[in-house]
Structure 1
Amino acid sequence: MNGRRLARRLSVAAAVLVFLVLVASAWLRHSQAGLGCADWPACYGVIVDTTETPLPGTALARLVHRFAATGALVLIAVLAFAALRRADGVQVERRLAWLALAIALALAALGIWTPGARVPAVAIGNLLGGFALFAALAGLSARLRDPVPRGGGSTLALVALAVAFVHVMLGGMIGAQFAVTACPPALSCPAADLSTLAGSGILDPLRAIELVDGRARAPAGADALVVLHRLASIAVVAFALAAAWAVRADRPRAATIAACALGALAMGVAATLRQPTLVGTVMHNAFAALVVAALAGAAAARR
């Protein structure tokens, strides 16, 4: 087995482990917030210490998160160390490996401040960092599989990737500020007014979460934030499908992008039309991660 093939297998294995971390993290984050709790929705936003009061699936999710994160960090360190060797024509691969290691170390450092954090910036930083790490590994795997750029489509894939990250950030702000129930279970949210976003402070990631009798209260403008997230999801699907069309010569990659985007849309619509559930929200998070990975792979493989 040559070095390039081994590196690709390591990058794929690391990406799978990071995906497991993302899923486990979403489960822990939303279960701690009370999503889908027994006395729904009265218990939503009641801060629960999952170490003192274990919730269903919490122990397994915590175990998966711990071991998958450790394994991913080891594999990423091996990839970054291997990238130190001098070789021609692998500058992009080397940068992606080092980028992955830098993100992984930053996430490990951020984890120190995560327990008990009461500002959205910490949760959003963990979420975006995890997605960025998954994207870097997906891009690295794609480059190791196709070392020769295949032509056009990378710019559109990068634009779609940027839009996807904005969408992820908005979703993270909804969860971090306990705004999941801000809109009724319907496609429309009649009371929302997008013009209130700027002055409400809900877009400020450093604004502390307000607690009233031990329960987090969503700030003003939460419904508008939910609507903005829904509009962003439409933009993500549109740009992702455009990127899939741009790389249609590579049918498997184009089909993967389209399938992930449509799957994420379906999960989002399902979550919108009914009361949110823990499993449904985690699956929505997982599909969003797959969209990011598919777009990152397309962007990296074609540059």
Structure 2
Amino acid sequence: MGAVTLARLLVFAALLTVLITSASAYLRLGGNALGCEGWPACYLAAAEPKAAVPDLPAVQWVRGSHRVAASVLGLLIIAIVALGWDALQGRGRRIAGVALLFLALFLAWLGRYTPSLLPAVTLGNLFGGMALFGLIVWMQARPRADVFADPRLASRLRLAAAILLAAIVVQVVLGALLSVRHGTAACSDFPLCGPGAGLLDWGVFDPFALPAEGTAYSVASLQALQLAHRLGALVVVAATAWMAWAASRLATPPRFLVIGMSVIVLVQIMAGLAVLFSPLRLAAGVAHNLATALLVGCAAWSLQIPRRGE
């Protein structure tokens, strides 16, 4: 397989991954009753143990499309690694290709336990999808040589990208916990909320913990989770702004990265607010998830900028 064909397959794989993660977000958030009729009573009722949640519109079509796209992506990853092995040259691209294979196998195995009330399962799916997209973008990225003419500025951009990825990891954990625990409606005010009823249970932050059988987490616990997610959003915005500034300082600034990140983080903020206050909560939640994936892609592209001499 030639380098051009490999590049095209990687682009197609990236687009498929975005489609899959968006469909997964639709199924996951809708399955948790986000955006249900009669908000917030219907959402709070769905948090009760063994509560029945009505099927989403077109849920069978979305689930079927998700499975087909995931199967095609799996075959595509096999083709990229097996047929494009010789073209995967330099900077750990072969290691990344093998990692893609293992991630695809992990997600296929995890699908047997999805959906689940255990937040760790949701986190596995989220991190697996984000990591797939980030690795594919990293393998495809080929920054021009003049972008990293100044090694000091290039190193600053790589550091900013690494910090942004770390902030996103923490934020994804908090967001997944908030979703699975049905904590979106715990705060009706902005930017702060409370005080909530009940005692604070720190187990709400444990992705491997579930409330005692027949019970739910207190409002105070869910509000603490919601506030942590909002504070995490500030960190992500700050990290994104720093990374965009670092990119703008390069000898030949990649304008698509600077402008793209600015637009993406704005969409993410608006989507997060829409989840709280707009009737289009489900669509906003999917957009919020998509914006996160795109930020991961921007950071992954920046990490491909080599050090001088590489």
Tell me the TM-score range normalised by the shorter chain.
Answer: 0.7 to 0.9
Residues 1:100 and 2:104 aligned together: no
The answer as to whether partners of 1:33 and 1:178 remain within 8 angstroms in 2 is yes
1:82 and 1:37, CA in 2 relative to 1: closer, same or farther beyond 3 A? same
- Residue 38 of structure 2 is aligned to residue 34 of structure 1: no
Q: Secondary structure at the match of 1:85?
A: coil
1 CA distance for matches of 2:258 and 2:205? 34
**Counterpart Cα distance in 2 of 1:224 and 1:73:** 39
After TM superposition, the structure 1 = structure 2 runs for residues 57-206 of structure 1, keeping only pairs within 5 Å, are: 57-85=58-86, 89-115=89-115, 117-143=116-142, 150=148, 151=151, 152=154, 153-191=157-195, 196=200, 200-206=202-208
Contact 2:2 2:84 in 1 (8 A): no
Normalised by the length of structure 1, the TM-score is: 0.86
Distance 1:221 1:78, change over 3 A: same
* Aligned residue pair count: 291
CA contact (8 A) 2:185 2:276 kept: no
| Compared CA separation, residues 284 and 291, structure 1 to 2 (3 A) | same
Q: Does 1:295 align with 2:299?
A: yes
**Using a 3 Å threshold, how does the CA distance of structure 1 residues 119 and 9 change in structure 2: closer, same or farther?**
same
Are the structure 2 counterparts of residues 81 and 301 from structure 1 closer, same or farther at C-alpha, using a change threshold of 3 Å? farther
Structure 1 counterpart of 2:256 = 252
The residue identity in structure 2 corresponding to 1:286 is: L
Q: CA deviation at 1:243?
A: 0.8
- Measure, in 2, the Cα distance between the counterparts of 1:172 and 1:75: 28
Matched letter for residue 29 of structure 2:
H
Long gaps (5+) in structure 1: none
Deviation at 1:121, TM superposition (A): 0.8
Distance (Å, rounded) in 2 between the aligned partners of 1:276 and 1:200 = 31
Q: Per the alignment, in what secondary structure is the counterpart of residue 186 of structure 2?
A: coil
CA distance in 2 between counterparts of 1:296 and 1:247 reads: 13
Residue of structure 1 equivalent to 2:243: 243
**Once the 2 structures are TM-superposed, how far is the Cα of residue 275 of structure 1 from its aligned partner?**
5.8
Change (3 A) 1:99 1:148: farther
Matching residue of 2:229: 229
User: Residue 126 of structure 2: SS of its match in structure 1?
Assistant: helix
SS at match of 1:178: coil
Give 1:19's aligned amino acid.
V
Task: Tell me the CA shift for residue 284 of structure 1.
Answer: 1.2
Structure 2 unaligned residues grouped into runs of 5+: none
Q: Note closer, same or farther for the CA distance 1:82–1:34 as it changes in structure 2 (3 Å cut).
A: same
Say whether the 8 Å CA contact 2:203–2:209 is kept in structure 1: yes
TM-score, length basis structure 2: 0.84
Q: Is the 8 A contact 2:6 2:84 kept in 1?
A: no
Q: Distance in 2 between matches of 1:8 and 1:149?
A: 20
One-letter amino acid of the structure 2 residue matched with residue 165 of structure 1: V
| Root-mean-square deviation over aligned CA pairs | 2.7
Preserved contact between residue 247 and residue 254 of structure 1 (Cα < 8 Å): yes
Q: 1:5 to 1:97 in 2, by over 3 A?
A: same
CA distance in 1, matches of 2:132, 2:29: 21
Q: Distance in 2 between matches of 1:135 and 1:98?
A: 14
Residues 207-249 of structure 1, C-alpha deviations (whole Å, 9 max, x = no match)? 125564xxx8345511111111111111111111111111222
- Shift of residue 13, structure 1, vs aligned partner: 0.7
AA paired with 1:105? L
The alignment partner of 1:181 has SS state of: helix
> What secondary structure does 2:96 align onto?
helix
In 2, Cα distance between equivalents of 1:3 and 1:189: 56
Contact 1:76 1:100 in 2 (8 A): yes
Q: Find the aligned partners of 1:255 and 1:271 in 2 and give their Cα distance.
A: 24
Question: Take 2:59 and 2:233, find their aligned partners in 1: how far apart are those partners?
Answer: 29
Q: Distance in 2 between matches of 1:106 and 1:84?
A: 21
| Contact 1:120 1:209 (C-alpha < 8 Å) held by counterparts | no
Q: CA offsets, 1:26-62, max 9 Å, x none?
A: 1111111111222332222255778xx6421212210
The 3 A distance-change label for structure 1 pair 201 and 3 is same
Taking the aligned partners of 1:129 and 1:155, their CA distance within structure 2 comes to 23
Residue type at the aligned position of 2:81: A
- 8 Å Cα contact 2:118/2:209 also seen in 1: yes
